[in-house]
Amino acid sequence: MTRDKILEAAAHEIERNGLTQFRVKRVAMEAGISVALLYSYFEDREGLIAATLVHRYRQVLLGQAEAFTSPLREVHSAPDLRRALEEMIDDAQAPERTENRLVRIESMSFARHNEAASAGIMAAKEEAGELIVHWVSPLEEKGLLAEGITAIAFARVWYALFFGQISLQGEQNLAISEEDWLRALRTIAYSMVRSGD
């Protein structure tokens, strides 16, 4: 419990001040413990930062995997699956999804330079992957997917779309309006569901 309090306090410290202005003393104060006690849980500042980024990345990734899979849990027919996909598309528009994607990107960037963070992020990805496979496999078993679409293919395509950038902003060639992007998401989503129901 103390370790989790430290990690939450450290996550807030990173969110407020960034990695360059990260201070262990402020983390200990927010967690309500001494710096000495903090260091009994973490070897050094870099270890604390790595553990914090993995902690936050895992929370974000599993939260997104939960959002990805929860509409699929009551799917018994192709119309149910279409409704679930609509729910997932709507949920993906929430502003916190973009913020969560940024946390993932920042964590992965840091992890490239830190072995402990890299290993922790890989473990979180594996855990999220297992959760997704658990909930998409029945779609194939029930015959709800279009011909040629396996449960894993469905998950890979939909995961990339669902967690990808919702609308590309700016002056670049790939900019797309939110309306056009949502139309494309629906078209791709429905193409993966068995037709005829």
The count of structural domains within the chain is 2
Instruction: Give the integer Cα–Cα distance in Å for 158 and 146.
Output: 14
The pLDDT value recorded for residue 172 is 64
Q: Is residue 196 part of a domain?
A: no
The pLDDT value recorded for residue 102 is 59
Residues 190, 82: contact at Cβ < 8 Å?
A: yes
Same domain, 74 and 144: yes
Same domain, 53 and 28: no
**pTM, full prediction:** 0.74
Q: Between 90 and 50, name the one with better pLDDT.
A: 50
The pLDDT value recorded for residue 38 is 96
Same domain, 2 and 96: no
112-168: per-residue pLDDT in tens? 777 888 888 889 889 988 999 999 999 999 999 999 999 999 988 887 776 655 444
Domain end, chosen from 26, 42, 58, is at: 42
Q: Is residue 197 part of a domain?
A: no
The pLDDT value recorded for residue 91 is 77
CATH number at residue 23: 1.10.10.60
70-122: per-residue pLDDT in tens? 999 999 999 999 999 988 888 777 766 666 665 665 666 666 777 888 888 88
The pLDDT value recorded for residue 164 is 57
Q: Is residue 176 part of a domain?
A: yes
DSSP state of 74: G
Res. 66: pLDDT tops 90: no
Same domain, 27 and 114: no
The pLDDT value recorded for residue 166 is 46
Same domain, 79 and 160: yes
Res. 8: pLDDT tops 90: yes
Res. 9: pLDDT tops 70: yes
| Domain residue limits at 138 | 43-191
Res. 187: pLDDT tops 50: yes
Cβ-Cβ contacts under 8 Å for 14 (sequence gap 6 or more): 22, 49, 52, 53, 56
The pLDDT value recorded for residue 61 is 82
Same domain, 49 and 119: yes
Same domain, 3 and 58: no
Cβ-Cβ contacts under 8 Å for 152 (sequence gap 6 or more): 133, 136
Q: Is residue 143 part of a domain?
A: yes
The pLDDT value recorded for residue 106 is 64
Same domain, 76 and 133: yes
Same domain, 127 and 81: yes
The DSSP-derived string for 89-105 is HHHHTSHHHHHHHHHHH
Same domain, 20 and 57: no
Same domain, 11 and 56: no
Same domain, 48 and 28: no
The pLDDT value recorded for residue 143 is 95
